[in-house]
Chain A
């Protein structure tokens, strides 16, 4: 047994525990910014270390935990998302709560859950990782003690999340009963298309769809995204969703690969529905976070549709898209947070005249939203192209066309936000301030979105290697 394969997970746990200890040692009135900076430095170190793990393909704990390119790709995505979120939210967390140390420690523990999910090769490990992540998020969503919305969002997420976990587990128990195994590779050997197995698979799909906020299990997303503190919303949108896709890909392409004729039609219908409901829902929103929540439902639909290709090309498209979506979201949420810090609310109206107050943030927001809409030369265009080309090759041309039409409609409500920033008059004449780290994150997001959009080859190569690891 090679425990060294677990180094990055163990390191993140130690980092979280150290932050709790330092939090206790720091005097009560002292600022907690140093803890956030410490977490960022630690994560940067771990991120650098994970690059040394490329090329490994080995398992620990009797094959319950695997380190391969696919898992590493997702782990790096989660770590980068956490680093960027921490960087742009240092001020906000300080203002929001007196327990900033606990906030950072919990965020890191949620990160461990995601990393375990990316590496899980059996239903038990997968379940433990999933629950570690979601239980941490229940707490984080309700972390803002001053806000009534935050506690409401927290309890809604906790109840719906626990219920969906129970449904998911009930499905797992049927799969276990009728294949006699919980290892994904063993399940694949023993699986037959009996009604009980299909019933279990259906329940598991419902559970996964909840975590990914796929229609018709998306009802929680707008409320939770709106009520949660902004950094938590950002993590929910970027990392928790990507973690969900990591386990969905492994479960469906390893364990249920032989049942493709049963789950492909379901997935295509769910993906199409998510695109339509997400885009139509977003049009009416007045709150930036709520608009991004509906937009994330639609984006989940785009990413999910990549599964229909059922080949490495489709999975490659999904992985590329997950990264692009993260990069674009970092920019959008950083701007939302900067505006929130300034005027204490996060409605789209509050973005009015941002171009005069802070031209940089207005440009970052515009580029991020256009990337989500999929306009060239922004990165989102590349991601959509990979996915839609892959599924059109596999005979799902109708879904590719639906996706394109929906992307065009989505430009409409993204443009509404851009118009508010550029043409509306400034509401107040306060001087706009933001922290240096937020400025850096916004710039990084801008540069990455444009760079990947113009020169996607390196990311595509990496995603391709990761996708090949599944087959």
Chain B
């Protein structure tokens, strides 16, 4: 029988993969994709809790819709920034963003 723990485990694994990607990916596009994974793990969590903990209220599902919308906005702005960076330096490698440091 598949229960709440299974869904939460899947979400935790996806979140961990996303976090690992953010910390290790070398291109900005890869980092943005990893962030998307983390946000999707959040959605799985929210919908699982909504289904098992508060089945009479749709709080978690509504929250998930908001999260999806906000994630789309974040990625849109992020990709626009990637265009700017590519325009400025002809690369999207995170390590090349070294104009400022002390």
Where the two chains meet, the residues of A that have a C-beta atom closer than 8 Å to any C-beta of B are 123-124, 127-128, 131, 135, 138-139, 142, 145, 148-149, 151-156, 158-159, 161-163, 165-167, 169-170, 172-174, 176-177, 180-182, 222-223, 226-227, 284-285, 290
Contact = CB atoms under 8 A, between A and B. Distances in A.
Which of B54, B70, B101 has the most C-beta atoms of chain A within 10 angstroms of its own C-beta?
B70
B100 interface: yes
Nearest to B54: A180
Which of B48, B63, B80 has the most C-beta atoms of chain A within 10 angstroms of its own C-beta?
B63
B78 A159 contact: yes
Contacts of A165: 39, 70, 74
A201 to B, nearest CB: 15
B102 A151 contact: no
Interface residues of B, number: 43
Nearest to A153: B100
A128 B60 CA distance: 15
A176 B59 contact: yes
Nearest to B96: A152
Nearest to B40: A166
A169 B100 contact: no
B63 A182 contact: yes
A286 to B, nearest CB: 8
Contacts of A123: 63
Contacts of A290: 100, 102
A52 B89 CA distance: 52
Given A128-B70, A223-B100, 15 more contacts: A124-B62, A127-B66, A135-B70, A138-B78, A151-B87, A159-B28, A162-B75, A166-B35, A170-B42, A173-B45, A176-B46, A177-B45, A177-B53, A181-B59, A223-B101
A128 B71 CA distance: 11
B22 A163 contact: yes
A155 B84 contact: yes
B13 interface: no
A182 B50 CA distance: 11
Nearest to A141: B81
A149 B78 contact: no
B28 to A, nearest CB: 6
A166 B85 contact: no
Contacts of A128: 66, 70
A428 B97 CA distance: 33
The 10 A-B pairs with the shortest beta carbon distances in the complex, nearest first, are A177-B49, A166-B38, A173-B45, A151-B84, A155-B81, A169-B42, A131-B70, A158-B78, A162-B74, A162-B35
Which of B35, B85, B87, B100 has the most C-beta atoms of chain A within 10 angstroms of its own C-beta?
B100
A463 to B, nearest CB: 32
14 contacts: A124-B63, A131-B74, A138-B74, A138-B77, A148-B88, A148-B89, A148-B99, A151-B84, A155-B78, A155-B84, A159-B32, A169-B42, A176-B59, A180-B53
Nearest to A154: B81
Nearest to B12: A170
B34 to A, nearest CB: 8
B78 to A, nearest CB: 5
Contact of B102 (A131, A152, A284): A284
A154 B22 CA distance: 17
